[in-house]
Amino acid sequence: MQKSVLTSFTIIGIIAISCCLQQEEIHSKEYWDELGYNLSHTGKYKEAIEAYDKVLEVDPNNAKEWYNKGYCLSKLGRYDEALKAYDKALELDPTNIKAWYNKGVTLLEIGKCEEAIEISDKLEETYSVGSELWNDIGACFGEQNKDEEALKAFNRALELNPENFKALRSKALSLQKLGRYEEALRAYEIFLKENPRDFVAWNNKCPILLMLGENEEALNACNKALEINSTNPDAWNNKGLVLFALGGYDEALEAYNKALEINPAHEDAWNNRNYIQPNFVITFTRELNETIEAMITIGKTRSDIDFDEFVRYMDSDKSRVDNLMIIGRDKVEINGDNVWLIKMKISEKEELRLIEAIFECKNKDVLTVTMGSPSSKYSRYNETFYHIIRSVRC
């Protein structure tokens, strides 16, 4: 009886092996190719790679399968392996446009913007693909704050395809970051004619108009952005800046509070709100019978500011603090404390709007004193502020 059982299992084992061998014969490379395709289109990239490898075992010079494998590897974030697969595909078929394009995209994923440019040059005959890759190259440079290079890439994308509106909006942002506000504004306006409901464009247009002193138009842009997306804290912060420039301090405060309601950790909204929410309002009368009305904010002592890092920032060539333009900065000693005096304004068209003193206290805490004026045309503004800070102690 036992022998019979063993014989039965042996026969079953032989049948199973035979079935498997028959399955290998049935599952041709066309079968594995189709299976890989279906798996990759359902997001099962690891399983798809296994299927494509089955094809490559019997047909190692199949350029299409090397490309498919590279695509799945890139989707899994295995970029070095993906690049090797794309290179093999292109070695076998240098005319594979998809392989060139996706190799370029993969290079951008690992920050190799310059290498991707070489591929874009190869794709320029295929305008739509070349334009898209140049746009991606611009985004790569933008992420690295190489705004001049980004701008060149976006311009090339638009030369190849003037209707690449994604590149147009990105070009506008690069111009904005470079301080070329008039050009940025024109680019946003062209973009918005075709995409009137684009939140990002309206929201970015708002501070540009503010920088150019077009405050009413800036407010309109902010409102347009908020019509599209009323839950974005950046849009509320931008609106607060515009309202402040228009002299609507209570309304600006409401806007900053709205931004902080949405995102309690919004640093710019906290800073901007502190500029217009004074601890006290004072009036000084000077010899020339000139009354200076100014809002003074004495900041709380801060121990979370690295003063040395702040000094390095001020020693750099940066021309902005948050959303304000720096028009003067001096380091002085007041009552034994090191103090940075920063003079700022909102736009080119305005005169002095705000002075801030940053005290490095002996206990290494930092104290800020800010004086913001409802009007920028006060000849004794500086004298008034210096009089105030001389009375401040850490």
Domain residue ranges in the chain? 197-277, 280-389
pLDDT of residue 224: 97
Side-chain half-sphere CA neighbours of 186 within 13 A? 4
pLDDT of residue 192: 97
Facing residues of 283 across strands?
A: 293
pLDDT of residue 294: 37
Neighbours of 365 (CB within 10 A): 16
Edge-first strand order for the sheet with 354-360 is 280-285, 291-298, 366-372, 354-360, 337-345, 324-334, 320-321
**pLDDT tens string for the chain (394 positions)?**
444 333 333 333 433 333 443 444 456 778 888 888 888 888 999 998 999 899 898 889 998 999 899 999 989 999 999 989 988 988 898 888 888 888 888 888 888 878 877 777 676 666 567 788 888 888 888 888 889 989 998 999 999 899 999 999 999 999 999 989 999 999 999 999 999 999 999 999 999 999 888 999 999 999 999 999 999 999 999 999 999 888 888 899 899 999 989 998 888 888 787 666 543 333 332 332 333 333 334 444 444 445 555 555 555 544 444 455 666 667 777 777 777 777 766 555 555 556 667 776 666 556 666 665 544 444 445 555 665 566 556 5
Domain 280-389 falls under CATH 3.30.410: no
pLDDT of residue 296: 39
Q: Tokens 């001389």 — which residue? A: 390
The set of residues, in sequence order, having a beta carbon less than 8 Å from that of 308 and lying 6+ positions away, is: none
Domain 197-277 falls under CATH 1.10.150.130: no
Both tokens assigned to 346: 């909102």
Query: Which helix (H) or strand (E) covers residue 81, if one does?
Result: helix 79-92
**CA 239, CA 243: separation in Å to the nearest integer?**
6
Q: State the sign of the Cα–Cα–Cα–Cα dihedral 89, 95, 99, 100.
A: positive
- Cα 358 to Cα 226, 313, 320, 324, 337, distances in angstroms: 34, 13, 16, 16, 10
Question: Would you state the torsion angle of the CA atoms of residues 153, 154, 160, 164, taken in this order, to the nearest 10 degrees?
Answer: 150
pLDDT of residue 107: 86
Domains 197-277 and 280-389 share a fold: no
Beta strand segments in 189-319, E:
280-285, 291-298
